Chain A
Amino acid sequence: MTLSGGVRGPGGSAHRRFVSIGFKLALLSVVVVGVATAVAFFYATERERRRVLEAKRSAAGMVADLLAQSLQAPLDFNDEEAAKTELQHLEQNKEVVYAAVWRVGSSGAPMVELRGGTSALPAPADLQTPRTLAFGDRVETLRTVQGRNQEPVGTAFVQFSLARENAELVVARRNIFLYCLGLALGTMGLLTLTARHQVVRPIQQLLDAARRIEKGERGDAVEARANDEIGRLAQAFKAMNAAIFDREQRLSAANASLRELFDHMRQGILVFGSDAKVEGTSSRAAAQIFARSALAGSDVRELLYGAAGPWDAERRAFEEWLALGFDVPAEAWAEVGALAPQRVGLSGGERELLLEFRPIAQEGRVAKILLLATDETEQRRLEREMERRGAQHERQIALMRRLVSGGGQQFVAFLEQGRRRLERAAALCGQSLEGLPPAALGEVFRIVHTLRAEALAFELRELASLLREIEEQLSQLREPQGPPSEWRVRQPDLERALGAARALVEQSEELFVQASPIGRAALDNVWVRRRDVARLVELCADRKDEIARNVARLAARPFGECVDGVLEQAAAWAAKEDKRVSVGVEGREELVPRALAEVLGGVLAHLVRNAIAHGIEPVAERASLGKAPMGSIELACRSDAESAVLSVADDGRGVSGSSLLESAARTRRPLRDLSDTSHSTRSQASELAGRGVGLSAIEADLARVGYALMVASRVGGGTRFDIVPRLEQTT
């Protein structure tokens, strides 16, 4: 029943020994029942003793009265023998231990006496007062014997033993004790069981339920059958349990929402204490950013600067900041927060994090710090890519400026010469630098110096910068300090640098080709006067020989030149129709015969405008069809020695067969192709395309220079126009 153990009281008070309420109730019942039993025991035994003594006194009194009456005559006649005989009658009574008779007025020895045992006491001092008195071991009676005249003639005294009564009393006391003990034990057991069932067990159940709640488990419902204080306590506990569970549910839901919110944020969120250890749960993004499944207990210094050595300035600054951050009052945080690191590079700088630190204050001090880490690697990569593209665009614009000013040929010459020069420099530096003659070193230096200046002139800054570094190294070689073993410039380094310069020259050429509207053909171009070419064509007009064919090729124009105008305007045309389109070119270096080149600009412009107006769908329509929002128009050219085949293809809606049939039926003319002036698939003419007149004009222009227009279309799959030599022209 006793439960013991140390418990901490509310508010963390000192330990006090735990004593079960059951034990207390049991102890109380033992004390109360024990006292009550003892009282009952003593009362019962005393009552029994009194009852026995009273009976004994009464009997003794009756015997004494009878003796006094029987002694009347013997004493009245002073007959001692008779008195003795009367007294001897008492011998039959085994309990009479002493009896004596005195004559009146005598106070000495009795007239006669009877001794029944050794326990008899001496004769009483008072022989005058009749009485019956009980003592612990005996009962004494004294009676006055009256004569015939009713005057006292003597005194009779009888002493009875209480040995038998006392023996009976011992038995009775033992029985009473056993009864009381049984009653006490029964009462105590009943009280204990009642207390256990009615009080201790329900309280223990409440206690167990409270402990389960304390552990975070849901407290089971506690039965509240009894309609008493314990029952009400159980009901109150039940209600409290339900309220706690409800609040926990809401708290858990709010926590889950918050967690979900955190997890959906790009930022990694974690909290760390003054020991720099991460506490509690962190957001999912944090685990991803720091590539750890669990962050609790991790050292934030290791997370941010794990790869850095003790010499690292950023790590040391962060450690100093941590110490300061937890040392200042919360109100001084702003000043400290401004000194926190704002970025950190992870994995050797491959990944970049944007950092934000927020204090969590308690009692005016910074207790914890919240870290919000945003992975900006991708954003920074995009920014760098944009910067790179911007720089590339800038270089292309610079190259274009050179081309426009007639520098294209010079640039091509610079590229060719630069390549040759760098090859020469690499060959000279191919041997040991120690044995390199000063003249050779001087030549390499001059090559690099000249190239650097030229690169600067063409605004090739990266190449110029590299050549400047090579120049620096060569300067050191020209004026070496100390023996060759102490030279800072090594032959492999120099070779690598010259190789890098060569790569930059190649890269510049690629940029030039990309920037040129006629692509790689720009590298083969030479400047000739148009009037000279025109005259040559006139002179060869009647010839069909090799000279005529070469003149024709000389007069031919790169396809890229013919599409330049279309490329510039296509976006604007599409915008007017509220559409988006990209125009691709294939074969811009291909040569287009001079006659075709003269009409091709207009032809292509018409075809592209038609494609935008009729073929390419609006953005919304394309989206509903599952097509890319931006329509595509591809211009392509393939040429051989004498002719070219060109195409204009779009990925628009194509030409509807029914609309063509309707159109043909309306005009009652056979359907040949879309260039028939009577056919138009569009009921309303627009700014870009009308009713087929454009196609008819194109066909006429092409026919004049020996070419025909062919069309192929698939509904929903786009339309393709081919410009091909007419058969009669080629046969």
Chain B
Amino acid sequence: MSEGEIVVVDDSYVLLERIRSALRAEGYEVYVTTAAASAAVRIKTADLAIIDFHMPGTDGGQMLETLKAAAPADSSCVYYLYTSDKEVAAHYKDYGFDGAFLRKGEEAVLATQVGAVFRSIRMRKLAKKLRQERLR
């Protein structure tokens, strides 16, 4: 059973391959793509979307809008910006992201950050379960 489903959108195949390799090693099901159309299909079941900001012909903000529009209404997918630029990361909320992963290109760091996101997801589920138990 996979740790979670991740969609990664970037314009560099080299980076996408490295990200896929690193995150798969951590047990995640990873789908990497350079195309918004493919990402929009995969986002329906994804738990986490990692989106590059600087992409030819588009940027991370536009890509995020596309993916959010494609995601089902009850989707709990979280969207993270992937950049080395702290200035861009600081505006993650303005673009509509849930957070940002820094130190782009360091796959080990990315794996740790992704691990933290999935811990957060599991914590929310646990908190919900505990609330329901209290109500009972």
- Seen from chain A, the residues whose Cβ lies within 8 Å of a Cβ on chain B are 309, 311-314, 316-318, 320-321, 324, 327-328, 332, 335-336, 339, 341, 343, 345, 349, 468-469, 472, 481-482, 486, 488
Contacts and interface: CB of A to CB of B under 8 A. Distances in A.
Contacts of B109: 345, 349
Nearest to A315: B116
Given A311-B99, A472-B14, A316 B127 contact: no
Interface string B1-27: 000000000011110000000000000
Given A313-B101, A349-B109, A469-B14, A481 B122 contact: no
Contact of B56 (A328, A336, A488): A488
A312 B99 contact: yes
A311 B126 contact: no
Interface residues of B, number: 34
Contacts of A343: 112
Q: When A and B form their complex, which 10 residue pairs have the shortest distance between CB atoms, in order from nearest?
A: A317-B116, A311-B100, A314-B116, A313-B116, A317-B120, A313-B113, A311-B92, A311-B99, A313-B117, A317-B119
B89 interface: yes
Contacts of B126: 324, 335-336, 339
B69 interface: no
A468 B15 CA distance: 11
Nearest to B81: A311
B58 to A, nearest CB: 12
B37 interface: no
Nearest to B121: A317
A442 B100 CA distance: 38
Interface centre among B93, B109, B113, B123 (most CB of A within 10 A): B123
A317 B117 contact: yes
A349 B113 CA distance: 12
Given A320-B123, A468-B14, A488-B11, 14 more contacts: A309-B102, A311-B92, A313-B99, A313-B120, A317-B117, A317-B120, A317-B123, A321-B119, A327-B130, A339-B119, A339-B123, A343-B112, A482-B57, A488-B54
B80 A313 contact: yes
B104 interface: no
Interface in B88-136: 89-90, 92-93, 97, 99-103, 109, 112-114, 116-117, 119-120, 122-124, 126-127, 130
A314 B56 contact: no
A316 B12 CA distance: 28
A170 B115 CA distance: 107
Given A312-B99, A468-B14, A339 B122 contact: yes
A427 to B, nearest CB: 25
A448 to B, nearest CB: 14
Contacts of B86: 309
- Of A317, A324, A327, A335, the most chain B CB neighbours within 10 A belong to A317
Given A324-B126, A486-B56, A312 B120 contact: no
A482 B56 CA distance: 9
14 contacts: A309-B86, A313-B80, A313-B101, A316-B120, A320-B123, A321-B119, A324-B123, A328-B130, A339-B123, A339-B126, A341-B116, A345-B112, A481-B56, A486-B56
B120 A472 contact: no
Nearest to B117: A313
A677 B54 CA distance: 82
Most A Cβ at <10 Å: residue of B89, B114, B130: B130
B102 A312 contact: yes
Contacts of A335: 126
A588 B100 CA distance: 55
A240 to B, nearest CB: 47
Interface of B: 11-14, 54, 56-57, 80-81, 86, 89-90, 92-93, 97, 99-103, 109, 112-114, 116-117, 119-120, 122-124, 126-127, 130
A318 to B, nearest CB: 8
Nearest to A311: B100
Contacts of B92: 311
Contacts of A316: 99, 116, 120
B112 A481 contact: no
B12 to A, nearest CB: 7
Contacts of A332: 130
Contacts of B120: 313, 316-317, 320
Contact of B89 (A311, A327, A468, A488): A311
A309 B89 contact: yes
Contacts of A481: 56-57
A482 B55 CA distance: 13
Contacts of B122: 339
B128 to A, nearest CB: 11
Contacts of A317: 116-117, 119-120, 123
A311 B53 CA distance: 15
Give the one of B13, B81, B89, B112 with max A CB within 10 A: B112
A468 B17 CA distance: 12
A626 B81 CA distance: 60
A320 B109 CA distance: 20
A335 B57 CA distance: 45
A488 to B, nearest CB: 7
Nearest to A480: B56
A516 B37 CA distance: 53
Contacts of B103: 349
A472 B12 contact: yes
A602 B106 CA distance: 53
Contacts of A469: 14
Contacts of B116: 313-314, 316-318, 341
B92 to A, nearest CB: 5
B47 to A, nearest CB: 13
A335 to B, nearest CB: 6
Nearest to A486: B56
Interface centre among B81, B90, B116 (most CB of A within 10 A): B116
Contacts of A486: 56
A640 B63 CA distance: 71
Contacts of B13: 472
Contact of B124 (A309, A318, A320, A349): A320
A406 to B, nearest CB: 34
B50 to A, nearest CB: 11
A325 B117 CA distance: 17
Contacts of B102: 309, 311-312
A469 B18 CA distance: 12
A343 B86 CA distance: 23
Nearest to B106: A349
B93 to A, nearest CB: 8
Contacts of B97: 311
Nearest to B118: A317
Nearest to A328: B130
Contacts of A345: 109, 112
Nearest to A476: B56
